[in-house]
Amino acid sequence: MRDVINWGILGAGNIAGALVEGIREAGGRVAAVGSRDAERAAVFAGRFDIPASYGSYEDLLGDDGVDAVYVATTNELHHRNTLDAISAGKAVLCEKPFALNAHQGEEMRAAAQSAGVFVMEAMWMRFIPATVALLQMVERGDLGEIRAVAADFSFQANAGPEHRLVDPALGGGALLDLGLYPISLAMLLLGEPTAISAQASIGPSGVDEQVAASMVFPGGQVGSIYASFLADSPVEAHVVGTEGRAWVRSRFHNSERLDVVAPDGSVTVHEYPLAGNGYRFEVAEVHRALLAGETESSLRPLADTLSVMEVLDGIRAQIGVRYPGE
């Protein structure tokens, strides 16, 4: 493996542009971008000063100068794109949701393990300094025994009928795009839930426009999540312990501030400036693992990703959302 990791970007949307910046901030090099639209790829390459552009994903995956691929396509393509990248021997950082369901996710993990290729879900929240600090607080027992986690992630998307957020063929819905953040945070802190109760508002296209879920965990702890693209919400998280609570300020998935509230009501503010767009932290983990010869991240192993996918599957079963082919 080269000392400087060369990246290829599958997809030329907004999130792809954000990751280009993160790759460079983490010391990587963006060598190529691929899109199903050659002109779109060329425009993206010009905008971000990327040396090569391709009019197909296959052509990018055939570039021997690319070490790692960021899958930034729409949700329904993550499974196929990741399998193709693995077959091409490329390390993969796959945008969330990792797949449409746990079955697809398991196929991706099995392929990666069989090929000995690194694959990680792009759950950037896990690597944000404020999240890392929160996990350390909990592990040290600073908040006592954790009894509850509550988090929300909503914004008013004004998504028309052609928007990807409401298209079942593209894996649309609030749960997979937004709800997996508060669910992932709760599971990072409390493990796998033993019971889930979910409700949703289903839109005309058949996907969830807003969803709420309550979870119970092995120690009797509870979690509450809410996600929607119908209205704005605070996008905060609260972690409640027997000896204090942490308030993860907006936006909790890339927060720069934690307020720790003691039982007497006193507040200690902890600040964690990102000094960038925040994506460099997950990219740095990919770089670390690749240079160490590892095929999974120890901080975001695929087992954790698939556990979340199983919870998402369970919630979708309760609210009646199915995707084509399921």
Label residues 184-209 b or e (16+ Cβ within 10 Å = b). bbbbbbbeebeebebebeebebebbb
Cα 167 to Cα 162: distance, rounded to the nearest angstrom: 7
Cα 67 to Cα 212: distance, rounded to the nearest angstrom: 40
pLDDT for position 160 = 84
Residues of the chain within CATH 3.30.360.10 domain(s) are 129-273+309-319
Residue type, 184: S
Q: What CATH topology corresponds to 129-273+309-319?
A: Dihydrodipicolinate Reductase; domain 2 (3.30.360)
Residue type, 115: A
Going residue by residue through the chain, which has 326 residues, state the pLDDT in tens, using 9 for 90 and above.
Answer: 678 999 999 999 999 999 999 999 999 999 999 999 999 999 999 999 999 999 999 999 999 999 999 999 999 999 999 999 999 999 999 999 999 999 999 999 999 999 999 999 999 999 999 999 999 999 999 999 999 999 999 999 988 888 899 999 999 999 999 999 999 999 999 999 999 999 999 999 999 999 999 999 999 999 999 999 999 999 999 999 999 999 999 999 999 999 999 999 999 999 999 988 899 999 999 999 999 999 999 999 999 999 999 999 999 999 999 999 89
3-state SS track over 181-200? HHHHHHHHHHCCCCEEEEEE
What is the enclosing helix (H) or strand (E) of 239? strand 237-241
Residues of the chain within CATH 3.40.50.720 domain(s) are 6-122
| Residue 30 CB neighbours (<10 A) | 24
CATH of domain 6-122: 3.40.50.720
Bridge partners of 42, per DSSP, are none
The answer to whether 109 touches 306, Cβ cutoff 8 Å, is: yes
Cα 160 to Cα 290: distance, rounded to the nearest angstrom: 41
Cα 255 to Cα 267: distance, rounded to the nearest angstrom: 17
- List Cβ neighbours of 152 (8 Å cut-off, separation of 6 or more): 182, 225, 226, 227, 233, 234, 235, 236
